[in-house]
């Protein structure tokens, strides 16, 4: 009986460790991956809307509203949720520059901090050259996205090597066992 209780306590301890330590790490990592995947789309949207003549704060609000209207179709997107908070701040009278900088700090990922600072600086000094900077940032974001997809593909192919070698071992056994038995006769 004490052995069963000891085993149950060990299983409970492993589950507790996973639930309290590993699960939050996995959720945080997935959240960051989702935000990094959304970054090129956000930059491109801002580039298109500001290139079409919208002022930066209005372009930001428009992207947030588009996300809100299609949220059911897209699902929960963390970067866009933060965009909605920033859009509400702008609509409630917070200076756009400060709201953009806070957006980057709230997310805490380097590219978003860089975006927030870039937008804040352009709100202070004027929007001259903003379109070119956003286009450059969009190009860099898509290049980074391509590299990330490539790295993910390499990780997946590496993970698939173990099952492939296991199947190779099974095939060798299937071929070698009858061959060895035929020599024994």
DSSP string across the chain:
-HHHHHHHHHHHHHHHHIIIIIHHHHHHHHHHHHHHHHHHHHHHHHHHHHHTT--HHHHHHHHHHHHHHTHHHH---HHHHHHHHHHHHHHTT--HHHHHHHHHHHH--HHHHHHHHHHHHHHHH-STTHHHHHHHHHHHHHHHHHHHHHHHHHHHHHHTHHHHHHHHHHHHHHHHHHHHHHHH-
With a threshold of 0.85, does the pTM exceed it? no
CB-based burial of residue 98 (10 Å sphere; 0-12 exposed, 13-18 middle, 19+ buried)? middle
Confidence (pLDDT) at 67:
92
The tens digit of pLDDT for each residue in 131-164 reads 788 888 888 888 888 888 898 888 888 888 888 8
Confidence (pLDDT) at 184:
66
Given a contact cutoff of 8 angstroms between Cβ atoms, the answer to whether 112 and 79 are in contact is: yes
CB-based burial of residue 81 (10 Å sphere; 0-12 exposed, 13-18 middle, 19+ buried)? middle
Confidence (pLDDT) at 106:
92
Given a contact cutoff of 8 angstroms between Cβ atoms, the answer to whether 65 and 52 are in contact is: no
Confidence (pLDDT) at 145:
84
Residues of the chain with pLDDT under 70: 18, 127, 184-185
Residue 173: partners with Cβ closer than 8 Å, 6 or more residues away: none
Q: What whole-number distance in Å separates Cα of residue 88 and Cα of residue 70?
A: 18
CB-based burial of residue 66 (10 Å sphere; 0-12 exposed, 13-18 middle, 19+ buried)? middle
Confidence (pLDDT) at 137:
84
């Amino acid at each position: 009986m004490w052995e069963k209780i000891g085993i149950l306590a060990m299983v409970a301890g492993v589950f507790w460790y996973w639930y309290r330590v590993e699960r939050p790490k996995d959720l945080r990592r997935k959240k960051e991956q989702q935000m990094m995947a959304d970054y090129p789309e956000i930059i491109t949207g801002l580039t298109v809307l500001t290139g079409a003549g919208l002022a930066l704060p209005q372009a930001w609000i428009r992207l947030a509203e588009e996300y809100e209207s299609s949220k059911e179709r897209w699902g929960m997107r963390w970067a866009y949720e933060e965009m909605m908070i920033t859009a509400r701040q702008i609509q409630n009278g917070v200076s756009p520059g400060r709201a953009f900088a806070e957006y980057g700090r709230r997310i805490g990922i380097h590219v978003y901090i860089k975006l927030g600072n870039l937008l804040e600086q352009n709100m202070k000094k004027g929007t001259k050259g903003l379109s070119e900077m956003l286009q450059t940032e969009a190009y860099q974001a898509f290049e980074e996205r391509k590299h990330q997809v490539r790295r993910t593909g390499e990780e997946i192919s590496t993970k698939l090597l173990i099952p492939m070698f296991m199947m190779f071992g099974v095939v060798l056994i299937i071929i070698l066992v009858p061959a060895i038995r035929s020599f024994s006769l």
